[in-house]
Chain A
Amino acid sequence: MSEHPILVGFDGTDAAHRAVKFAGIRAEAEGCPIHIAYILEWSPYSFLSAQELEERHQRRSEELVRAESTLNPALEILKNKNIKVTYEVRYGHSGELMCKIAKEQQATQIIIGRKGGSALGARLLGSLALTLVQAAPLPVTVVP
């Protein structure tokens, strides 16, 4: 039994659901909780038009509601297992924020999904998996 959770990165894709499923199995085996982090990519230094500034607060509220409903199927996957599940939706840079949340939650490991695609594509676009493998202060499992 451990109090320290497994941190799962979530973005609503199929890969993220596979990661949640895999994390469920691991958590059951170790008897530890799961913390799901849904990060909405955001930079405070991006440019917005005046119209977007006006609507930003409204859009943000809508995005948070939508994110919660996207999370539901994932929570459904873990429902019948005997695991404590918590989650949060945050704005920011996904790589930095995952590491920060891992520290806040005192997680033991990070599990994320990978969309697949070519190695070249991942290198050019830069993926969360690569960032975390390079930068995370704790073990990272990437679920294909």
Chain B
Amino acid sequence: MFSSKWIPASVAGVAILFYAQLAQAQESGMDKAINETIAPISNVIAGAIFYSVSIGDIEFPLIVGWLVLAATIFTLYFGFVQFRMFGHAIALVKGDYSNPDDAGEVSHFQALTTALSGTVGLGNIAGVAVAISIGGPGATFWMILAGLLGMASKFTECTLGVKYRNEYPDGRVSGGPMYYLTKGLSEQGKPGLGRILAIVFSICCIGGAVGGGNMFQANQAFQQIVNVTGGEQSFIANSGWLFGLIMAAIVGMVIIGGIKSIAKVTEKIVPFMAVIYMVSGLIIIGMNIEHVGDAFYRIFDGAFTGAGVAGGTVGALIQGFKRAAFSNEAGIGSAAIAHSAVRTKEPITEGYVALLEPFIDTVVICTMTAVVITISGQLQTDLTGVELTSAAYATAFTWFPLVLAVAVVLFAFSTMLSWSYYGLKAWTYLVGEGKGKEMIFKGFFCLCVILGASMNLGPVIDFSDAMIFAMALPNVIGLYFLMPVVKREANQYWQKIDRGEIRKVKDIEAESARAR
């Protein structure tokens, strides 16, 4: 997932070693100038967003608490919707309820996979490794718990994303937190508050898109390429700008040139990479089947005793919660933008589908990484981040680091494409639509790719990570106001199901066949 998500950890003073190594980049004059200009502002904002309280030896960023608290409230308010509706969500994704006349429109499956491609990435690989190298195997337990809770947040925001989307006369559909914050809150007689929240959200979303969704991705992809080509001795170790230029050219071809084929190829390869990653993980687990019981014992034992971890149980819990919150973006609001284009008359259906997202991302993929690392025995080494994951997989497949490098670059690329879209939507919400205005954003976005790959922009990255998590502030406040709307949507939907107005397609077809 989304690599930037674990860098906030470094802001909190957690992954500094790993980060320093990754960002051993080129200190140039310009680099320094940018850092010095941005650092004071960045430090204030990042410091505020990632304001941490000390629990034992561990710093706990309050924003993580904000997200986990919201997820818990939504879970209780909607009566554990993530468990009750899991089966219904699968039926919706399979298309059991999709009207055949809507073939050719955006399906639930397509909305889900597009949203997933924006979140599954380096975070699932590297972020988990950071979490369990600090929090121990026990962090996995808390990560799963927070992932399960996060499903309720996704459910809430994506239902609202569809309900309050804009449908333009030319047929385009556009939605996301900026629309439900304005429209939803003005329905409740708070247009001013809604407008302010939407504007704050949009500004943060643009910051997050060019930072965490772009510069950080470029930076990480480049570092990974350097690592597999020989580390500091690599022939491209000092050519970040060249890598950035190539990456920017490719991104530009897709988002400015509209060359769909490149995006198409990536989108074909990315799921393939994800499958290789999952299958390799399962094979490793299978090869070490005798250690699996022990791994799960250590996960549960670590979760409640905090054995061998700095900070004990609390330390493990914080790492797990942090990883889950940073990795599945539940409560951040980004996914609501991607989910809102689905073709459905019932907004709540997309909410049900969206709750699968944190499940796939955190409960399945992140957990797999954690289990593989735990049983590989590599946790006893000093490695962390993507190198730890790489080493864990290499215990079974020596060629795996190379595959992982390709996967990292592709994940970074697809995350960039997703965030370029999220950022653009926020930008056009603020300044209005228009070819010229859109071009300004797209051009700036490409420029940021080069900057991200070629420089050691610690403060800039801290700033943009802070912006991504700042999105959660206006978004979650809005969600608290709007959660009764979601409940009403759910009630009227189930009444329709009970009355037989909404039925599975195959039931309707079977009936009409009998009638004939």
Min distance, Cβ A19 to any Cβ of chain B, angstroms:
23
Q: Is the CB of B106 within 8 A of A57?
A: yes
- Please report which residues of chain A, range 46-102, place their CB below 8 angstroms from some CB of chain B when the two chains form the complex: 46-58, 60-61, 63, 90-92
Q: Is the CB of B114 within 8 A of A50?
A: yes
Please report the C-alpha to C-alpha distance between residue A49 and residue B172 in the assembled complex, in whole angstroms.
14
Q: Is the CB of A54 within 8 A of B103?
A: no
Min distance, Cβ B500 to any Cβ of chain A, angstroms:
23
Min distance, Cβ B161 to any Cβ of chain A, angstroms:
12
Which of B53-61, B335-343, B363-371 has 4 or more CB atoms under 8 Å from chain A? Answer: B335-343
B267 at interface, CB cutoff 8 A: yes
Which B residue's beta carbon lies closest to that of A58?
A: B171
Which B residue's beta carbon lies closest to that of A106?
A: B516
How does the 8 Å CB contact mask read for B325-343 relative to A, with 1 for contact and 0 for none?
A: 0000000000001100111
Min distance, Cβ B12 to any Cβ of chain A, angstroms:
30
Which B residue's beta carbon lies closest to that of A100?
A: B100
- B341 contacts across to A, CB distance below 8 A: 50, 53-54, 56
Contacts known (A47-B114, A50-B418); A57 close to B173, Cβ less than 8 A: yes
Please report the C-alpha to C-alpha distance between residue A46 and residue B205 in the assembled complex, in whole angstroms.
28
Min distance, Cβ B385 to any Cβ of chain A, angstroms:
28
Min distance, Cβ A137 to any Cβ of chain B, angstroms:
14
B417 at interface, CB cutoff 8 A: yes
Q: Is the CB of A42 within 8 A of B103?
A: yes
B98 at interface, CB cutoff 8 A: yes
- B174 contacts across to A, CB distance below 8 A: 54
Q: Is the CB of A58 within 8 A of B104?
A: no
Q: Is the CB of A54 within 8 A of B173?
A: yes
A44 at interface, CB cutoff 8 A: yes
- A47 contacts across to B, CB distance below 8 A: 110, 113-114, 117, 267-268, 271
A140 at interface, CB cutoff 8 A: no
Chain B interface, >50% SS class: helix
Q: Is the CB of A53 within 8 A of B271?
A: no
Please report the C-alpha to C-alpha distance between residue A79 and residue B257 in the assembled complex, in whole angstroms.
44
How does the 8 Å CB contact mask read for B399-416 relative to A, with 1 for contact and 0 for none?
A: 000000000000000000
Which B residue's beta carbon lies closest to that of A60?
A: B104
Q: Is the CB of B171 within 8 A of A53?
A: no
Which of A40, A52, A91 has the most chain B CB atoms closer than 10 A to its own CB? A52
B263 at interface, CB cutoff 8 A: yes
Please report the C-alpha to C-alpha distance between residue A58 and residue B168 in the assembled complex, in whole angstroms.
10
Q: Is the CB of B263 within 8 A of A49?
A: yes
Which A residue's beta carbon lies closest to that of B255?
A: A51
Q: Is the CB of B106 within 8 A of A53?
A: yes
Which A residue's beta carbon lies closest to that of B513?
A: A103
Please report the C-alpha to C-alpha distance between residue A53 and residue B114 in the assembled complex, in whole angstroms.
8
- A46 contacts across to B, CB distance below 8 A: 110
- B18 contacts across to A, CB distance below 8 A: none
Please report the C-alpha to C-alpha distance between residue A45 and residue B113 in the assembled complex, in whole angstroms.
9
Interface residues on A, range: 20 to 34
Please report the C-alpha to C-alpha distance between residue A144 and residue B95 in the assembled complex, in whole angstroms.
37
Please report the C-alpha to C-alpha distance between residue A46 and residue B111 in the assembled complex, in whole angstroms.
10
Min distance, Cβ B213 to any Cβ of chain A, angstroms:
12
- A56 contacts across to B, CB distance below 8 A: 104-106, 173, 341, 343
- B171 contacts across to A, CB distance below 8 A: 55, 57-58, 60-61
B170 at interface, CB cutoff 8 A: yes
B300 at interface, CB cutoff 8 A: no
How does the 8 Å CB contact mask read for B258-273 relative to A, with 1 for contact and 0 for none?
A: 0010010001100100
- Please report which residues of chain B, range 163-197, place their CB below 8 angstroms from some CB of chain A when the two chains form the complex: 170-174
- B338 contacts across to A, CB distance below 8 A: 50, 53
Q: Is the CB of B421 within 8 A of A49?
A: yes
B362 at interface, CB cutoff 8 A: no
Q: Is the CB of A44 within 8 A of B109?
A: yes
- B337 contacts across to A, CB distance below 8 A: 50
How does the 8 Å CB contact mask read for B285-298 relative to A, with 1 for contact and 0 for none?
A: 00000000000000
- B105 contacts across to A, CB distance below 8 A: 56-57, 60
B223 at interface, CB cutoff 8 A: no
Which among A42, A50, A57 is the interface contact of B172 at CB below 8 angstroms? A57
Q: Is the CB of B417 within 8 A of A49?
A: yes
Q: Is the CB of A45 within 8 A of B103?
A: no
- A40 contacts across to B, CB distance below 8 A: 104
B82 at interface, CB cutoff 8 A: no
- A55 contacts across to B, CB distance below 8 A: 171-172
- A51 contacts across to B, CB distance below 8 A: 421
Please report the C-alpha to C-alpha distance between residue A92 and residue B95 in the assembled complex, in whole angstroms.
13
Please report the C-alpha to C-alpha distance between residue A49 and residue B116 in the assembled complex, in whole angstroms.
11
Q: Is the CB of A45 within 8 A of B107?
A: yes
Which of B106, B170, B421 has the most chain A CB atoms closer than 10 A to its own CB? B106
- B173 contacts across to A, CB distance below 8 A: 53-54, 56-57
Min distance, Cβ B432 to any Cβ of chain A, angstroms:
17
Beyond the given pairs A54-B341, A57-B173, A91-B103, 7 more chain A to chain B contacts, judged by CB atoms under 8 angstroms and listed by A's residue number, are A42-B103, A48-B110, A49-B263, A49-B267, A50-B337, A51-B421, A60-B105
7 nearest CB pairs, A to B: A58-B171, A91-B104, A44-B107, A53-B341, A91-B103, A50-B421, A57-B171
Q: List 7 A-B contacts (CB under 8 A).
A: A40-B104, A44-B98, A47-B110, A53-B341, A56-B343, A60-B104, A60-B105
Residues on B close to A: CB < 8 A? 95, 98, 100, 103-107, 109-111, 113-114, 117-118, 170-174, 260, 263, 267-268, 271, 337-338, 341-343, 417-418, 421-422
